[in-house]
Structure 1
Amino acid sequence: MREHRETVLTGLRDDTAVLERISGDLTRKFTGIFAAETVERYVFESYTALARTSRIRTHLASTTARFAADRLKALAQSTGAIARDVPEVLFVCVHNAGRSQMAAALLNKYAQGAVHVRSAGSAPAAELEPAVVAALAEAGIDLSQEFPKPLTDDVVRAADVVITMGCGDSCPIYPGKHYRDWTIGDPAVKDLAGAREIRDEIDLLVTELLGELTTASKKH
Protein backbone atom coordinates (compact mmCIF):
# COMPACT_ATOMS: atom_id res chain seq x y z
CA MET A 1 0.00 0.00 0.00
CA ARG A 2 2.88 2.39 0.67
CA GLU A 3 4.03 1.86 -2.91
CA HIS A 4 0.52 2.83 -4.07
CA ARG A 5 0.67 6.00 -1.95
CA GLU A 6 3.98 7.00 -3.48
CA THR A 7 2.53 6.51 -6.97
CA VAL A 8 -0.57 8.67 -6.52
CA LEU A 9 1.20 11.35 -4.52
CA THR A 10 4.03 12.14 -6.87
CA GLY A 11 4.73 15.80 -6.22
CA LEU A 12 2.12 15.93 -3.44
CA ARG A 13 3.89 14.10 -0.62
CA ASP A 14 3.42 16.97 1.86
CA ASP A 15 -0.19 15.83 2.33
CA THR A 16 0.58 12.18 3.10
CA ALA A 17 0.20 12.56 6.87
CA VAL A 18 -3.17 14.28 6.48
CA LEU A 19 -4.43 11.57 4.13
CA GLU A 20 -3.26 8.85 6.49
CA ARG A 21 -5.22 10.53 9.28
CA ILE A 22 -8.32 10.69 7.08
CA SER A 23 -7.83 7.02 6.23
CA GLY A 24 -7.68 6.16 9.92
CA ASP A 25 -10.86 8.07 10.67
CA LEU A 26 -12.76 6.42 7.82
CA THR A 27 -11.41 2.98 8.70
CA ARG A 28 -12.96 3.36 12.14
CA LYS A 29 -16.20 4.65 10.61
CA PHE A 30 -16.44 1.63 8.30
CA THR A 31 -15.21 -0.96 10.82
CA GLY A 32 -16.47 -4.41 9.91
CA ILE A 33 -17.32 -3.30 6.37
CA PHE A 34 -14.02 -2.46 4.70
CA ALA A 35 -10.42 -3.37 5.40
CA ALA A 36 -8.01 -0.54 6.19
CA GLU A 37 -6.25 -1.11 2.87
CA THR A 38 -9.47 -0.56 0.92
CA VAL A 39 -10.26 2.62 2.80
CA GLU A 40 -6.75 3.97 2.29
CA ARG A 41 -6.87 3.24 -1.42
CA TYR A 42 -10.16 5.12 -1.75
CA VAL A 43 -8.83 8.09 0.19
CA PHE A 44 -5.63 8.43 -1.84
CA GLU A 45 -7.42 7.90 -5.15
CA SER A 46 -10.11 10.44 -4.19
CA TYR A 47 -7.44 12.96 -3.28
CA THR A 48 -5.64 12.46 -6.58
CA ALA A 49 -8.85 12.82 -8.58
CA LEU A 50 -9.81 16.08 -6.84
CA ALA A 51 -6.27 17.48 -6.96
CA ARG A 52 -6.22 17.21 -10.76
CA THR A 53 -8.81 19.96 -11.12
CA SER A 54 -8.67 21.88 -7.85
CA ARG A 55 -7.29 25.41 -8.10
CA ILE A 56 -7.19 25.99 -4.36
CA ARG A 57 -5.44 23.50 -2.08
CA THR A 58 -6.72 25.04 1.17
CA HIS A 59 -9.81 22.84 1.44
CA LEU A 60 -8.52 19.83 -0.47
CA ALA A 61 -8.15 17.65 2.64
CA SER A 62 -11.71 18.29 3.81
CA THR A 63 -13.20 17.74 0.35
CA THR A 64 -11.17 14.54 0.03
CA ALA A 65 -12.56 13.28 3.33
CA ARG A 66 -16.13 13.98 2.23
CA PHE A 67 -15.66 12.56 -1.26
CA ALA A 68 -13.96 9.38 -0.06
CA ALA A 69 -16.55 8.84 2.68
CA ASP A 70 -19.40 9.17 0.21
CA ARG A 71 -17.74 6.82 -2.27
CA LEU A 72 -17.19 4.23 0.45
CA LYS A 73 -20.81 4.54 1.55
CA ALA A 74 -21.92 4.09 -2.05
CA LEU A 75 -19.73 1.01 -2.38
CA ALA A 76 -21.17 -0.43 0.82
CA GLN A 77 -24.71 0.26 -0.40
CA SER A 78 -24.12 -1.35 -3.79
CA THR A 79 -22.77 -4.51 -2.15
CA GLY A 80 -25.52 -4.69 0.45
CA ALA A 81 -23.21 -4.05 3.40
CA ILE A 82 -25.26 -0.94 4.24
CA ALA A 83 -29.04 -0.93 3.83
CA ARG A 84 -30.66 1.67 1.58
CA ASP A 85 -33.64 3.10 3.45
CA VAL A 86 -34.60 5.69 0.82
CA PRO A 87 -34.26 5.93 -2.98
CA GLU A 88 -30.81 6.89 -4.26
CA VAL A 89 -30.62 9.46 -7.07
CA LEU A 90 -27.51 10.42 -9.02
CA PHE A 91 -27.36 13.53 -11.22
CA VAL A 92 -24.60 13.58 -13.83
CA CYS A 93 -23.50 16.39 -16.16
CA VAL A 94 -20.17 17.20 -17.77
CA HIS A 95 -18.52 19.50 -15.25
CA ASN A 96 -20.63 18.97 -12.10
CA ALA A 97 -20.46 22.73 -11.78
CA GLY A 98 -23.95 23.71 -12.90
CA ARG A 99 -26.90 21.55 -13.90
CA SER A 100 -26.22 18.48 -11.76
CA GLN A 101 -25.37 20.64 -8.75
CA MET A 102 -28.61 22.59 -9.19
CA ALA A 103 -30.68 19.43 -9.48
CA ALA A 104 -29.06 17.77 -6.46
CA ALA A 105 -29.47 20.88 -4.30
CA LEU A 106 -33.11 21.39 -5.25
CA LEU A 107 -34.02 17.73 -4.73
CA ASN A 108 -32.27 17.75 -1.36
CA LYS A 109 -34.24 20.82 -0.35
CA TYR A 110 -37.62 19.38 -1.29
CA ALA A 111 -37.04 15.75 -0.28
CA GLN A 112 -36.04 16.56 3.32
CA GLY A 113 -34.39 13.18 3.76
CA ALA A 114 -36.96 11.14 1.82
CA VAL A 115 -34.41 10.70 -1.00
CA HIS A 116 -30.62 10.50 -0.89
CA VAL A 117 -28.94 12.54 -3.63
CA ARG A 118 -25.50 12.54 -5.24
CA SER A 119 -24.07 14.43 -8.19
CA ALA A 120 -20.98 14.00 -10.35
CA GLY A 121 -19.32 15.13 -13.57
CA SER A 122 -17.79 13.21 -16.44
CA ALA A 123 -15.09 15.92 -16.67
CA PRO A 124 -15.35 17.91 -13.42
CA ALA A 125 -14.50 21.61 -13.37
CA ALA A 126 -12.29 23.37 -10.86
CA GLU A 127 -15.19 25.15 -9.18
CA LEU A 128 -18.94 25.75 -9.38
CA GLU A 129 -20.27 28.29 -11.85
CA PRO A 130 -20.74 31.65 -10.03
CA ALA A 131 -24.10 32.26 -11.73
CA VAL A 132 -25.33 28.87 -10.48
CA VAL A 133 -24.26 29.65 -6.92
CA ALA A 134 -26.00 33.04 -7.11
CA ALA A 135 -29.21 31.65 -8.65
CA LEU A 136 -29.56 29.02 -5.96
CA ALA A 137 -28.72 31.51 -3.22
CA GLU A 138 -31.75 33.46 -4.39
CA ALA A 139 -33.78 30.29 -3.77
CA GLY A 140 -32.39 29.98 -0.26
CA ILE A 141 -29.84 27.27 -1.04
CA ASP A 142 -26.21 27.66 0.04
CA LEU A 143 -23.68 25.94 -2.24
CA SER A 144 -20.59 27.29 -0.50
CA GLN A 145 -19.62 23.83 0.79
CA GLU A 146 -20.17 22.02 -2.52
CA PHE A 147 -17.48 21.13 -5.05
CA PRO A 148 -17.27 19.39 -8.46
CA LYS A 149 -16.79 15.64 -8.11
CA PRO A 150 -15.65 13.14 -10.74
CA LEU A 151 -18.03 10.41 -11.84
CA THR A 152 -17.04 7.10 -10.28
CA ASP A 153 -18.31 3.58 -10.75
CA ASP A 154 -19.31 3.17 -7.10
CA VAL A 155 -21.85 6.01 -7.05
CA VAL A 156 -23.48 4.75 -10.26
CA ARG A 157 -23.80 1.23 -8.82
CA ALA A 158 -25.40 2.63 -5.66
CA ALA A 159 -28.03 4.68 -7.50
CA ASP A 160 -31.60 3.62 -8.16
CA VAL A 161 -32.18 6.49 -10.60
CA VAL A 162 -29.50 8.11 -12.75
CA ILE A 163 -30.32 11.45 -14.38
CA THR A 164 -27.89 12.56 -17.10
CA MET A 165 -27.71 16.10 -18.43
CA GLY A 166 -25.55 16.62 -21.50
CA CYS A 167 -22.81 14.12 -20.66
CA GLY A 168 -23.46 11.77 -23.56
CA ASP A 169 -22.58 8.12 -23.06
CA SER A 170 -19.92 8.70 -20.39
CA CYS A 171 -22.12 7.25 -17.64
CA PRO A 172 -21.82 3.45 -17.35
CA ILE A 173 -25.02 1.45 -17.75
CA TYR A 174 -25.94 -1.22 -15.20
CA PRO A 175 -28.98 -3.52 -15.13
CA GLY A 176 -31.66 -2.58 -12.64
CA LYS A 177 -30.97 1.16 -12.75
CA HIS A 178 -33.50 3.63 -14.06
CA TYR A 179 -31.84 6.07 -16.48
CA ARG A 180 -33.22 9.37 -17.76
CA ASP A 181 -31.71 12.14 -19.81
CA TRP A 182 -32.82 15.71 -19.18
CA THR A 183 -32.15 18.07 -22.09
CA ILE A 184 -31.23 21.28 -20.30
CA GLY A 185 -29.08 24.24 -21.33
CA ASP A 186 -25.61 24.67 -19.86
CA PRO A 187 -25.45 27.52 -17.29
CA ALA A 188 -21.72 27.83 -17.98
CA VAL A 189 -22.58 29.88 -21.08
CA LYS A 190 -25.35 31.87 -19.40
CA ASP A 191 -25.48 35.01 -17.28
CA LEU A 192 -27.40 35.18 -14.00
CA ALA A 193 -30.72 35.66 -15.80
CA GLY A 194 -30.04 32.55 -17.88
CA ALA A 195 -29.02 30.59 -14.78
CA ARG A 196 -32.32 31.54 -13.16
CA GLU A 197 -34.23 30.16 -16.14
CA ILE A 198 -32.30 26.90 -15.98
CA ARG A 199 -32.87 26.73 -12.20
CA ASP A 200 -36.62 27.09 -12.68
CA GLU A 201 -36.66 24.47 -15.45
CA ILE A 202 -34.78 22.01 -13.26
CA ASP A 203 -37.04 22.88 -10.33
CA LEU A 204 -40.08 21.65 -12.24
CA LEU A 205 -38.36 18.42 -13.29
CA VAL A 206 -37.08 17.75 -9.77
CA THR A 207 -40.52 18.32 -8.27
CA GLU A 208 -42.02 15.83 -10.73
CA LEU A 209 -39.27 13.30 -10.01
CA LEU A 210 -39.74 13.60 -6.25
CA GLY A 211 -43.47 12.98 -6.64
CA GLU A 212 -42.76 9.80 -8.59
CA LEU A 213 -40.19 8.56 -6.09
CA THR A 214 -42.32 9.19 -3.02
CA THR A 215 -45.35 7.55 -4.65
CA ALA A 216 -43.28 4.50 -5.54
CA SER A 217 -41.87 4.32 -1.99
CA LYS A 218 -45.38 4.31 -0.48
CA LYS A 219 -46.35 1.37 -2.70
CA HIS A 220 -43.46 -0.64 -1.25
Structure 2
Amino acid sequence: MSTKPTVLFVCVHNAGRSQMAAAFTAALSAGAVEVLSAGSEPSDRINPVAVAVMEEIGIDISANRPRILTTSAVQASDVVITMGCGDTCPVFPGKRYEDWELDDPAGRDIVTVRRIRDDIRTRVEALLAGILQDE
Protein backbone atom coordinates (compact mmCIF):
# COMPACT_ATOMS: atom_id res chain seq x y z
CA MET A 1 0.00 0.00 0.00
CA SER A 2 1.19 3.47 -0.85
CA THR A 3 2.33 5.95 1.77
CA LYS A 4 0.25 8.54 -0.04
CA PRO A 5 -3.32 8.94 1.16
CA THR A 6 -5.85 7.31 -1.16
CA VAL A 7 -9.20 8.94 -1.92
CA LEU A 8 -12.07 7.07 -3.58
CA PHE A 9 -14.93 9.02 -5.19
CA VAL A 10 -18.15 7.08 -5.67
CA CYS A 11 -21.37 8.02 -7.47
CA VAL A 12 -24.01 5.92 -9.15
CA HIS A 13 -22.84 5.97 -12.77
CA ASN A 14 -19.19 7.06 -12.34
CA ALA A 15 -19.78 9.24 -15.38
CA GLY A 16 -19.90 12.80 -14.03
CA ARG A 17 -19.49 13.88 -10.41
CA SER A 18 -16.99 11.25 -9.29
CA GLN A 19 -14.98 11.61 -12.50
CA MET A 20 -14.75 15.40 -12.10
CA ALA A 21 -13.82 15.07 -8.41
CA ALA A 22 -11.13 12.49 -9.17
CA ALA A 23 -9.68 14.66 -11.93
CA PHE A 24 -9.59 17.74 -9.68
CA THR A 25 -7.95 15.75 -6.90
CA ALA A 26 -5.28 14.38 -9.21
CA ALA A 27 -4.59 17.80 -10.72
CA LEU A 28 -4.68 19.86 -7.53
CA SER A 29 -2.69 17.41 -5.39
CA ALA A 30 0.09 17.21 -7.98
CA GLY A 31 0.48 13.50 -7.29
CA ALA A 32 0.47 13.74 -3.49
CA VAL A 33 -2.79 11.75 -3.32
CA GLU A 34 -3.74 8.43 -4.95
CA VAL A 35 -7.11 8.87 -6.62
CA LEU A 36 -9.76 6.27 -7.43
CA SER A 37 -13.31 6.62 -8.71
CA ALA A 38 -16.09 4.12 -9.21
CA GLY A 39 -19.83 3.73 -9.55
CA SER A 40 -22.40 1.45 -7.99
CA GLU A 41 -24.07 1.11 -11.43
CA PRO A 42 -21.48 2.40 -13.91
CA SER A 43 -22.55 3.94 -17.19
CA ASP A 44 -21.02 2.89 -20.48
CA ARG A 45 -19.31 6.27 -20.99
CA ILE A 46 -18.40 9.55 -19.35
CA ASN A 47 -21.02 12.30 -19.53
CA PRO A 48 -20.02 14.41 -22.57
CA VAL A 49 -21.10 17.64 -20.85
CA ALA A 50 -18.84 16.79 -17.88
CA VAL A 51 -16.00 16.21 -20.37
CA ALA A 52 -16.72 19.60 -21.99
CA VAL A 53 -16.79 21.63 -18.76
CA MET A 54 -13.58 20.04 -17.52
CA GLU A 55 -11.91 20.69 -20.87
CA GLU A 56 -12.88 24.37 -20.48
CA ILE A 57 -10.51 24.56 -17.51
CA GLY A 58 -7.75 22.47 -19.05
CA ILE A 59 -8.49 19.07 -17.51
CA ASP A 60 -9.05 16.24 -19.99
CA ILE A 61 -11.25 13.38 -18.76
CA SER A 62 -12.29 12.23 -22.23
CA ALA A 63 -10.27 8.99 -22.06
CA ASN A 64 -11.68 7.99 -18.66
CA ARG A 65 -14.05 5.05 -18.41
CA PRO A 66 -16.66 4.38 -15.72
CA ARG A 67 -15.66 1.59 -13.34
CA ILE A 68 -17.66 -0.65 -11.03
CA LEU A 69 -17.31 -0.10 -7.30
CA THR A 70 -15.44 -2.96 -5.66
CA THR A 71 -14.89 -3.87 -2.05
CA SER A 72 -11.14 -3.87 -2.66
CA ALA A 73 -11.23 -0.23 -3.84
CA VAL A 74 -12.94 0.77 -0.61
CA GLN A 75 -10.50 -1.27 1.46
CA ALA A 76 -7.54 0.37 -0.31
CA SER A 77 -8.81 3.88 0.39
CA ASP A 78 -8.21 6.14 3.35
CA VAL A 79 -11.06 8.50 2.44
CA VAL A 80 -14.28 7.50 0.68
CA ILE A 81 -16.41 10.30 -0.77
CA THR A 82 -19.90 9.25 -1.82
CA MET A 83 -22.12 11.32 -4.08
CA GLY A 84 -25.64 10.02 -4.14
CA CYS A 85 -24.92 6.28 -4.13
CA GLY A 86 -26.73 5.74 -0.85
CA ASP A 87 -26.13 2.54 1.05
CA THR A 88 -24.46 0.66 -1.81
CA CYS A 89 -20.98 1.64 -0.65
CA PRO A 90 -19.44 -0.89 1.75
CA VAL A 91 -18.36 0.52 5.11
CA PHE A 92 -15.16 -0.54 6.83
CA PRO A 93 -13.92 0.59 10.25
CA GLY A 94 -11.04 3.04 10.20
CA LYS A 95 -12.00 4.69 6.92
CA ARG A 96 -13.06 8.30 6.69
CA TYR A 97 -16.40 8.67 4.91
CA GLU A 98 -18.04 11.83 3.59
CA ASP A 99 -21.24 12.16 1.61
CA TRP A 100 -21.27 15.12 -0.74
CA GLU A 101 -24.76 16.17 -1.74
CA LEU A 102 -24.32 17.25 -5.34
CA ASP A 103 -26.75 17.40 -8.22
CA ASP A 104 -26.28 14.70 -10.81
CA PRO A 105 -25.04 16.29 -14.06
CA ALA A 106 -26.80 13.64 -16.18
CA GLY A 107 -29.20 15.33 -18.58
CA ARG A 108 -28.31 18.83 -17.35
CA ASP A 109 -27.38 21.83 -19.46
CA ILE A 110 -23.81 23.10 -19.59
CA VAL A 111 -24.49 26.06 -17.28
CA THR A 112 -25.77 23.72 -14.56
CA VAL A 113 -22.86 21.31 -15.03
CA ARG A 114 -20.40 24.22 -14.74
CA ARG A 115 -21.97 25.08 -11.39
CA ILE A 116 -21.65 21.44 -10.26
CA ARG A 117 -18.02 21.40 -11.47
CA ASP A 118 -17.19 24.55 -9.51
CA ASP A 119 -18.89 23.17 -6.38
CA ILE A 120 -16.84 19.98 -6.71
CA ARG A 121 -13.62 21.96 -7.09
CA THR A 122 -14.33 23.93 -3.90
CA ARG A 123 -15.02 20.70 -2.00
CA VAL A 124 -11.88 19.02 -3.36
CA GLU A 125 -9.74 22.02 -2.38
CA ALA A 126 -11.09 21.82 1.20
CA LEU A 127 -10.60 18.05 1.27
CA LEU A 128 -7.00 18.33 0.08
CA ALA A 129 -6.23 21.10 2.56
CA GLY A 130 -7.25 18.74 5.35
CA ILE A 131 -5.58 15.62 3.96
CA LEU A 132 -2.30 17.23 3.01
CA GLN A 133 -2.13 19.21 6.26
CA ASP A 134 -2.28 15.89 8.15
CA GLU A 135 0.79 14.61 6.28
The alignment's TM-score, normalised by the length of structure 1, stands at: 0.61
Aligned-residue sequence identity (percent) comes to 52
1:125 and 1:145 mapped to 2: Cα distance? 14
Q: 1:123-134 residue pairs with structure 2 within 5 A?
A: 123-134=41-52
Give the C-alpha shift of residue 143 in structure 1: 1.0
* The structure with more helix, counted as a fraction of residues: 1
Matched, 1:160 2:66: no
Matched, 1:202 2:123: no
- The ranges of structure 1 where at least 4 consecutive aligned residues each deviate by more than 2 angstroms after the TM superposition are none
Give the C-alpha shift of residue 198 in structure 1: 0.2
Q: Which amino acid aligns with 1:128?
A: I
Q: CA RMSD in A?
A: 0.6
Q: 1:142 aligns with which of 52, 56, 60?
A: 60
Q: Which amino acid aligns with 1:115?
A: V
Q: 1:56-71 residue pairs with structure 2 within 5 A?
A: none
Aligned to 2:44, the other structure's residue is in SS state coil
Q: Give the aligned partner of residue 27 of structure 2.
A: 109
| Structure 1: gaps spanning 5 or more residues | 1-76, 78-83
Q: Give the aligned partner of residue 74 of structure 1.
A: none
Q: Is the 8 A contact 2:46 2:62 kept in 1?
A: no
* The structure with more strand, counted as a fraction of residues: 2
Q: Which amino acid aligns with 1:131?
A: V
Aligned length: 135
Q: Give the aligned partner of residue 216 of structure 1.
A: 134
Give the C-alpha shift of residue 166 in structure 1: 0.3
Q: Give the aligned partner of residue 88 of structure 2.
A: 170
Q: Which amino acid aligns with 1:158?
A: A
Task: Provide, for residues 98-140 of structure 1, a one-character-per-residue CA deviation record: whole Å limited to 9, x for no partner.
Answer: 0000000011110001111000000000101010000000010
Q: Which amino acid aligns with 2:64?
A: E
| Structure 2: gaps spanning 5 or more residues | none
Give the C-alpha shift of residue 156 in structure 1: 0.4
